[in-house]
Structure 1
Amino acid sequence: MEYRKLGRTGVSVSPLCLGTMMFGPWGNDDKADSIRIIHRALESGINFVDSADVYSEGESERIVGEALKGRRDDVVLATKFFMPMGDDVNHRGGSRKWIMQEVEQSLRRLQTDYIDLYQVHRPSPDTDVEETLSALSDLVHQGKVRYIGSSSYSASQIVEAQWAARDRHLQRFVTEQPPYSMLVRGIEQDVLPTIQRHGMGSLTYSPLSGGWLSGRWRKDEDTSPVSAARRRAAMADRFDLSLEENQRKLDVVEGLIELADEAGLTLIELAIGFVISHPAVTAAIIGPRTMEQLESQLPAADVSLSDDVLDRIDQIVTPGVTINPADNSYGTAELAPKARRRK
């Protein structure tokens, strides 16, 4: 497995990053099995692991902590904060109060005394970015955090944070974590070029677009992703097959399956290979729930797509376009259509 530099940090990471959202009650509730999956990923050469405090309400971090006993220093460990952790109104967000409190909880759950990459899970429209950066800078100076990053920031928010760090002499975000797949290409317009201009690394999530690019759902078949969406109502528009945009996704998937067959690849290998082939992408986050899913994704680390195959993908899905806008999860309400009206 060839390793890549994480932005300008000098740290080398694998092109596949093991995402752990599916470890715990949200996905695989068998702790021992989840640990076996993590160990298999590490044995395959993956040295990059990404979690978040909110995943299964902290259980994912606990599982990762158990799995990394005796291996901690060989892994680049990333986690995130921001999402609500309980009912208290201050147990969430990007405030100094919450950051200083929650980092201690994550360190305890992960059974470590430092986090390699501590990321803001989402931008906050009501919190000064300087407050967030200042608190994170203090954690770096204390040795509890090595680097800091953002997740699902728009291009303008990335730039604002970079400038604030420069002007206030604070630690800067060295990475961004956006959604990216063959069906969700909106970040090619401005987010990925902005990441490159600022020398940031990127760990992109959902390369299989929530399962759409796994081959699980096909056009004119009885299988449907709608039932999975019902478990998380906020994501329903991404899976509702009555929507024209999602029918379009099914059409696109058929074309991509045909292309994958011609290239001698599985659809999963084509999908992940596409993501890691972009020069602005450091690593693609894979999120297996089972060992079988992990084994189907590992070969993608060595996939190299020819220009002809990439051109064919561009013919099937226009560069810079997200087929269903509901799949975009970066930015804030300031970019929503209703916010564009004159007042």
Structure 2
Amino acid sequence: MRYRTLGASGLRVPELSLGTGTFAGRGPLFSEWGGTDVDQARRLVDIGLDAGLTLFDSADVYSDGAAEEVLGAAVKGRRDQVLLSTKLGLPTGEGPQDAGTSRSRIIRGTEDALRRLDTDHIDLLQLHGFDAGTPVEESLSALDTLVRDGKVRYVGASNFAGWQLMKSLAAADRLHLPRHVVHQVYYSLVGRDYEWELMPLGLDQGVGAMVWSPLGWGRLTGRIRRGQPLPERSRLHRTAELGPPVADELLHDVVEALDEIAEEVGRSVPQVAINWLLRRPTVSSVIVGARDEEQLRENLGAVGWELTPAQVERLDAVSHRPAPYPRFPYERQAGFARIDPPLFPRP
């Protein structure tokens, strides 16, 4: 396992991290993801640490906080060997203080997370979404308090739009408050919108990416094929509408290219898809999920080797799609390499 700096910070993180959305398995959404209990989670942590995977990511909304409890119990006795990342800001109840990133919510939410994780500090705390009803200065000030109190080490954001992230970074610089060093984002071979605005922003501002759903909401497992029905056990039967949409033609074209390359390199389709992500600009860590030991070991096989430049170029080409609206400024700017060098080859 190789390690990378988290954005422009000094924190070094493993190129793969483990998401805990499968822990506990409470509620209609997360019960579809998995139901990992403490003993099973402890075993996953064992396997991860043996491979050098030291970063574990959670959130207060995962199984109504129970995922954090399972994670805290699983790392008990070896807290100094791991990095704990969690998120807050999405609604957790119907009360007026149960959503958003006000000072009250951030402070209380962090105290609750510390209790559930059974730790005295969180290595990385991310705002799980942009709160348009709270000034960014208020949110950043609350994060500053937590950092100064030693309860949080680094701060980040998740699922922000470009202007929202830039507004937060500018306020942090102006007021000398903690900057977001990471942006947790959706990014995959069947979902490359991150590249158009958020990736250049990350490069310019020193914000690393932690990638969630690197297999496109379960579509890049290698089990979904052109002209065939969804596998009976696929969670897409029940949760497809909750994840990022993907056109069937794009999915099948990408999977067929992954198939060819997987055969060439002696790896699986998911391993090739994750390895491609690890070569992309700004990516600090790719978050993998695992229902069981077998899935975790499978995902760990995505590291320790590299695709060839020609193989990367093939995947770039088959997964490329035109810029989203407003597409004109992106495409127009791309024609002037002297003032805007391309981040990566475009077909």
Scaled by the length of structure 1, the TM-score of the pair is 0.87
SS in 2 for 1:220: coil
Residue 222 (structure 1) shift: 3.0
The aligned counterpart of 1:250 is 252
Corresponding residue for residue 338 of structure 1: none
Structure 2 stretches lacking a partner, 5+ long: 325-347
Secondary structure of 1:204's counterpart equals strand
1:311 offset after TM fit, Å? 0.6
Question: CA offsets, 1:290-314, max 9 Å, x none?
Answer: 2111111101121312210111012
**2:56 is equivalent to residue 49 of structure 1:** yes
Contact 1:99-1:136 within 8 A present in 2 as well: yes
Q: 1:209 aligns with which of 212, 216, 220?
A: 216
CA distance in 2, matches of 1:318, 1:253: 14
Partner of 1:8: 8
- With over 3 angstroms needed to count, the CA separation of the structure-2 counterparts of 1:223 and 1:234, relative to structure 1, is closer
8 Å contact kept, 1:140–1:146: yes
Alpha-carbon displacement from aligned partner over 1:60-107 (angstroms, at most 9, x marks no partner): 101110111121112121100011112223211111111111111100
Question: Counterparts of 2:146 and 2:186 in 1: how far apart (Å)?
Answer: 27
Offset of residue 262 of structure 1: 2.5
Closer, same or farther: CA 251–308 of 1 in aligned 2, 3 Å: closer
- State yes or no: 1:299 paired with 2:306: no
Contact 2:7 2:182 in 1 (8 A): yes
Cα distance in 2 for residues equivalent to 1:151 and 1:30: 24
CA distance in 2, matches of 1:321, 1:290: 37
Once residues 153 and 75 of structure 1 are traced to their aligned partners in structure 2, the CA distance between those partners, rounded to angstroms, is 26
**Corresponding residue number in structure 2 for 1:272:** 274
Structure-2 change in CA distance of 1:231 and 1:131 (3 Å): farther
Matched position secondary structure for 1:284: strand
Corresponding position: 1:105 with 2:107:
no
CA–CA separation in structure 1 for the residues paired with 2:138 and 2:232: 40
Q: Which residue of 2 aligns with 1:312?
A: 314
Query: Residue type of the partner of 1:311?
Result: E
Aligned residue number for residue 151 of structure 2: 144
> Considering only aligned residues, what root-mean-square deviation do their CA atoms show, in Å?
2.0
Q: Which residue of 2 aligns with 1:286?
A: 288
* Contact residue 17 and residue 47 of structure 1 kept, 8 A: yes
Whether the aligned pair in 1 keeps the contact of 2:187 and 2:214 (CA below 8 Å) is yes
Report the equivalent of 1:177: 184
* Equivalent-residue separation in structure 2 for 1:50 and 1:3 (angstroms): 16
1:83 to 87, 90, 94: 90
Q: Which amino acid aligns with 1:291?
A: E
Tell me if structure 2 keeps the 8 A contact 1:49–1:76. Answer: yes
Q: Distance in 2 between matches of 1:237 and 1:196?
A: 24
Which residue is equivalent to 2:331? none
Equivalent in the alignment of 1:259: 261
TM-score by length of 2: 0.86
Deviation track 1:219-260 (CA, whole Å, cap 9, x = no partner) reads 222335897346447517737xxxxx2343233322322232
Indicate the residue corresponding to 1:341 in structure 2.
none
Aligned with 1:148: secondary structure?
strand
Partner Cα distance (1:103, 1:232) in 2: 29
Counterpart residue number, 2:137: 130
Q: Amino acid of the residue matched to residue 6 of structure 1?
A: L
Does structure 1 conserve the Cα–Cα contact (< 8 Å) formed by 2:217 and 2:243?
no
Q: Alpha-carbon deviation of 1:37?
A: 1.4
Judged with a 3 Å threshold, the aligned counterparts in structure 2 of structure 1 residues 237 and 76 are, in CA distance, closer, same or farther, namely closer
Q: Which residue of 2 aligns with 1:20?
A: 20
Q: Percent identity?
A: 38
State the one-letter code of the partner of 2:309: D
Shift of 1:197: 1.0
Q: SS of 1:178's equivalent?
A: strand
- Measured against aligned partners, the alpha-carbon deviations of 1:125-149 in whole angstroms (never above 9, x if no partner) come to 2221111111111110111101100
Change (3 A) 1:227 1:40: closer
